[in-house]
Amino acid sequence: MDYSLLLAVFTGIAVLLILILKVKLHAFASLLISSISVGILAGLEPIAIMDTVKEGMANTLGFVATVVGLGAMFGAILEHSGGARIVADFLLKKFGVKKASSAMAVAGFIIAIPVFFEVGFILLVPMIYALHKQTGKSLLIFALPLLAGLAVTHAFMPPTPGPIAVADIIGADLGWVILIGGIVGLPSAIIGGILYGKYIGNKIFVDLPALSSKSETDTEENNKKQPHIYTILAIIAIPILLILLSTFNDSGLLPISNQILSEAITLIGHPFAALIIANIIAWYVLGIRLGFTKKELLDISTKSMGPAGMIILITGAGGVFKQVLVNTGAGEMLANSLSDIGFPVIVFAFFVALLIRVMQGSSTVAMITAAGLVSPLIMADTSGFTLACLVIAIAAGGTFMSHVNDSGFWLVKELLGITEKQTFKTWTIMTGIIAVSGFLMVLLIHVIFQ
């Protein structure tokens, strides 16, 4: 066994963590530098290293850039139409105040499909403030279920950027990822958000923060017409259902004998086409029909590209890291080492993502780096089901124990008006519960159905 290759991989990971944690260099540049470091230590020629960088970026961004860009535009239109608050209001009425925690968890789970985690939380914070005023209960009883729903979807459910990036790097079908992510995600949100939220909320009473009135003002809806709840839910469901339909068709689970119909389903169910269709419908139904001008919709779409661009670049750099492992042979050697000691790849995937998440904070960076390490370990005949389980295992690890090196930790602390110690006891522990329960469930599903 060539231990120099393993040394190159571990050195590359160490370089990545030092650049992010100590030097405070952006994750995009840090991933590229660590990838080049692995190539140098593994003995690649200089021109081969640069060709690998180009190959890794090109192979990854062809898919991810398109899907993340379309997803960001889709989410921005839904956000500006007031869809998040309408969904939350509807669920609250259906569940009632007594089951408001469940309503908040479901709201978070749905809203985070088209909208980024941070945006979804800021939009729905006034809802939990209002529930606190109405019931007099600790803010945590409503906040943690909402946060759990948002966090679970953010990590487990395409078309959010994290699972899309991981699925592309390891070659998983998005339909299977959506299916398994949904099966694992909701129970994880219930355990971490509703059950733990009720437990810790009864122990720690949190009153309204001083900034609550300001937040309510900042998140007031626009003066346009408001869309109907079922319209919003239908539009959110369109890309998910189309992708699932295509997956079932390609897997032979749908008894369709007509070739033209089958090819049409494959076309409209591809993530590119599904999101384009969803964008066109959202642009008209939630834009033009509600009174937005074409100029306003163009501005909304353009502004959505800012955060999307950052995620796209980080994902591309993660693809470079993966390609370096493939081209140096380090990935194959690591796979053989794990196989020799009988260590399952799915367990390795979870713990690698978990360690990187805890050390550097960003769930996206943790998931993408772990995917780059895991991708070369996957056998050519690995089923779509197993690949999707690997994506969810990585997502679970990337969710683990958000703390002071994660921006989400500070967002939760400030918007709930709690101390660092209380944030550890609530948000940090909750993300740990979601990660562990999610991983155990996907591991069980994989063992039973593989």
User: Angle between the 140-156 and 429-449 helix axes, to the nearest 10 degrees?
Assistant: 40
Query: How would residue 392 be classed by pLDDT, with cut points 50, 70 and 90?
Result: very high
Rounded Cα distance between 225 and 82, Å, is: 9
User: Angle between the 271-285 and 46-80 helix axes, to the nearest 10 degrees?
Assistant: 30
Q: Supply the range of the domain harboring residue 399.
A: 3-449
pLDDT digits (tens, 9 = 90+) for 291-332: 999 999 999 999 888 878 888 888 888 889 889 988 888 877
CA–CA–CA angle 405, 28, 271 (5° rounding): 100
**pLDDT over 50 at 219, yes or no:** no
Can you give the pLDDT at residue 17? 84
Can you give the pLDDT at residue 339? 67
Q: What mean pLDDT do residues 213-237 have? A: 70
Encoded tokens for 86: 């309408």
- Tally of structural domains, the chain: 1
Total-model pTM: 0.84
Averaged pLDDT of the chain: 88
pLDDT digits (tens, 9 = 90+) for 1-20: 567 888 888 898 889 889 98
Query: How would residue 124 be classed by pLDDT, with cut points 50, 70 and 90?
Result: confident
**pLDDT over 90 at 161, yes or no:** no
Does residue 146 or residue 123 have the better pLDDT?
146
Encoded tokens for 433: 């519960």
Instruction: Kindly compute the dihedral angle of the four CA atoms of residues 299, 300, 301, 302, in this order, to the nearest 10 degrees.
Output: 50
SS3 for the chain, per residue? CCHHHHHHHHHHHHHHHHHHHCCCCCHHHHHHHHHHHHHHHCCCCHHHHHHHHHHHHHHHHHHHHHHHHHHHHHHHHHHHCCHHHHHHHHHHHHHCHHHHHHHHHHHHHHHCCCCCHHHHHHHHHHHHHHHHHHHCCCCHHHHHHHHHHHHHHHHHCCCCHHHHHHHHHHCCCHHHHHHHHHHHHHHHHHHHHHHHHHHHHHHCCCCCCCCHHHHHHHCCCCCCCCCCHHHHHHHHHHHHHHHHHHHHHHCCCCCCCCHHHHHHHHHHCCHHHHHHHHHHHHHHHCCHHHCCCHHHHHHHHHHHHHHHHHHHHHHHHHHHHHHHHHHHCHHHHHHHHHHHHCCCHHHHHHHHHHHHHHHHCCHHHHHHHHHHHHHHHCCCCCCHHHHHHHHHHHHHHHHCCCCCCCHHHHHHHHHHCCCHHHHHHHHHHHHHHHHHHHHHHHHHHHHHHC
